[in-house]
Chains A and B, each alone.
Chain A
Amino acid sequence: MKKIIAILLAVLFVTALAACGSKSAETAPAATQAPAAEQKQEGYTSSQGTVDGFDPNQKTEFAMNTSEEVRTFNIGEVDPSLFEAPILVTSFGQSADTSMMDAIMKRSGVKDYAFNALAKDTDIKNYKTVIIVCGASSKGLGAAGISEADETARAEKIMAAINETNPAVIMCHLGGSMRRGVLSDKLTDMVLEVAKYMVVVEDANFDGKFTTVAQEKNIPLTYLYAIKDGMDVFSALFNK
């Protein structure tokens, strides 16, 4: 009799536990695991992000000039007359920030501009102003079907064309600290050699890079608190 009752109790407790659900089924390691290389998955998941060159848990000490209240902050004074239509918006690094720049231009009501993230060096001669959105994205490069080397080569050719035809160049960095990896900085530095104006979402300046360049090269710089603050900046620049 005791054995029967004990068995019944055991069954009941197991049933009650199952009714509550069990985490163990979700976390138990697999008995057989594939090699580590096979487990590696690129791209984002809800539980793990892969961000080039930026550790979101890294503590940053720099003081921001912009804030919820102060949406933009200028270093130096930009001369709008330098920037004439037609305008080309292109990308160095193929990040999604380039598409955000396109949205800025659309919503700013700028008419005479072309958007081509994969513009070629031969396109440059057709424009008086070239806006280059800097920031490397492995996702963007993958979507465009090109490698880092391809993108670097394209950027170098465009820079050569710029040096030849001399359009006014605006360097945009809209991706914040997330777009401060090795390739992003390499592409950005190429543009800073010829830029007449910089527009930067300020948290990308956590190491003072852009402030230093603005002061050393005497390039006017506008810091944005968020990407959307670029609308007022570009509207004022192009809707003269």
Chain B
Amino acid sequence: MKKYSYLWKNILVLAVALLFAAVAAHDFLAMRTPEPVVASKGLTRVARLSEYCANLKGTVGDEAVYVFDSGVPGGTFLVLGGTHPNESAGMMAAIAMAENIEVTAGRVFIMPWTNTSGFTHTSPLDGMVDMFTITLKDGSTRTFRVGNRLTNPVDQWPDRNYYEGTSGRKLVGTETAEIRNVNRLYPGNENGVLTEQVCAGIKNMIVEENVSIVMDMHEGSPEFYYLDTTMAHERALNVASLMAMDMGMEGLDMKAELSGQTSYGLSHRSLGDNTDALMTLMETYNPSMGPLHGKMDDDLIVNGNEPNYYQAHLDGYIYYRVKENGIPLIERIARHIVCITKLKDAYNLYHPEAPIEFTCLGSYDDMMQLGLEGVFKPVK
């Protein structure tokens, strides 16, 4: 009799464990579903990264590339969002562009999820949320993922104790996990680990498609010095500087800064050195990424308001001019899109022989007026 009692208790515990496992599995698998993109009418095709690195075929790294080809000869602009999936404005700006862009000369390539695998997991010990939801004008909602800045260990494991890849960057000590960081492994390796293959695919795409200029969209914690700054390879510095000046004329602080000669593996250095493209990378403020942030929830992600950082700025500990009411996601998305638009204008001034012309959501003020609910389209 006692034997059967133990059996039922154990079955009950097993059932509860199964329930938890099922819920966790559901959440985990949900993060493998990419956000829908309601692409603008100008979409020519959705390419795959495996077209440029065959080893990616059938892997999570076979990422989507939204191609907008005007049919008018000109240059090609590549927009990279989601290199670091926890830097939400990058992916959001890329999706917003894919949904609203109209290209009239040259081509624009948009990658919303540059590290697709990174979107499939989070940093649980950082208290990160996995998704957030916005409500659109028509009352419908759209949900977006907040991933991890690194490739999911389920897709690439283990991290090596020592690694020296094609970039010349040595990954040792606390940097070993960076072997899963897309923005440390350029120009990549077609036969390397998954993250290297993704980097190689992007590098090959730039070369094969004769990409003229690239913007890699990022965000940084409030403590980071290079916020509202565009890092530029030396060949791109004049274009980036003119863009920064033009953004300033619209009341948007922006600096241009040279890429470090030894910033090995970063897009602005290693893709600039290994391709003909003008490489740029921009950072916006993201309070959810810093250690002083409070409760991690939709409000912090969407409204970007963290009073701790405002106080830290007032006390002189944060160089960045933190606003009292924070910097909401729409403002950071608008800043990225305006930066790309102004970069295109500056590029055209220096390279009239291969122009790129597009419009996307108008000015910064236009986007602020539209809000997230107006920038993104309802999914039908």
Contacts and interface: CB of A to CB of B under 8 A. Distances in A.
A46 B20 contact: no
Nearest to A23: B125
A59 B264 contact: no
Contacts of A125: none
- Most A CB contacts (10 A, CB to CB) among B27, B149, B177 go to B177
Interface residues of B, number: 80
A228 B10 contact: no
B140 interface: no
Contacts of B258: 95-96, 137, 139-140, 143
Interface in B290-329: 315-317, 319
A230 B376 CA distance: 37
B257 to A, nearest CB: 5
B42 to A, nearest CB: 30
Interface stretch (B59-67, B150-158, B189-197, B332-340): B150-158
B172 A34 contact: yes
Interface stretch (A97-105, A150-158, A182-190, A208-216): A97-105
B40 interface: no
A85 to B, nearest CB: 21
Contacts of A95: 258
A104 B317 contact: no
B48 interface: no
B5 interface: no
B144 interface: no
Contacts of A226: 248, 253
A135 B253 CA distance: 20
B283 to A, nearest CB: 8
A57 B223 contact: yes
Nearest to B248: A228
Contacts of A5: 10-11, 13-14
Interface string B153-182: 110011101100000011011111100100
Interface in A1-50: 1-2, 5, 8-9, 12-13, 15-16, 18-23, 25-27, 29-34, 38-39, 41-46, 49
B271 interface: no
Interface in A79-137: 95-96, 99-100, 102-104, 106-107, 137
A20 B260 contact: no
A18 to B, nearest CB: 8
Contacts of B24: 16, 19-20
A76 interface: no
B33 to A, nearest CB: 15
A198 B172 CA distance: 46
B100 interface: no
Interface string B255-275: 111111111101001000000
A104 B242 CA distance: 8
Contacts of B172: 30, 33-34, 38-39
Interface in B1-53: 6-7, 10-11, 13-14, 17-18, 20-21, 24-25, 27-28
A42 B262 contact: yes
A32 B162 CA distance: 8
A56 B315 CA distance: 13
Contacts of B157: 25
B98 interface: no
A87 to B, nearest CB: 18
B101 interface: no
Nearest to A101: B241
Nearest to B13: A9
Nearest to A31: B161
- Most A CB contacts (10 A, CB to CB) among B149, B173, B245 go to B245
A100 B244 contact: yes
A194 interface: no
B153 A22 contact: yes
A53 to B, nearest CB: 13
B143 interface: no
B115 interface: no
Contacts of B10: 1-2, 5
A239 interface: no
Given A46-B220, A103-B241, A231-B245, A20 B124 contact: yes
A227 interface: yes
B358 interface: no
A228 B247 CA distance: 9
Contacts of A49: 224-226
Contacts of B218: 46
Interface stretch (B73-81, B203-211, B230-238, B364-372): B230-238
Given A27-B174, A46-B84, A46-B149, 14 more contacts: A2-B10, A9-B14, A19-B28, A20-B24, A22-B124, A32-B162, A41-B169, A43-B262, A46-B218, A96-B258, A99-B256, A103-B245, A227-B245, A227-B248
15 contacts: A16-B20, A20-B124, A21-B148, A23-B126, A25-B158, A26-B123, A26-B180, A34-B173, A39-B172, A41-B264, A42-B262, A45-B266, A99-B256, A106-B242, A137-B258
- Closest A-B pairs by Cβ, 4 of them: A43-B260, A228-B248, A142-B261, A43-B263
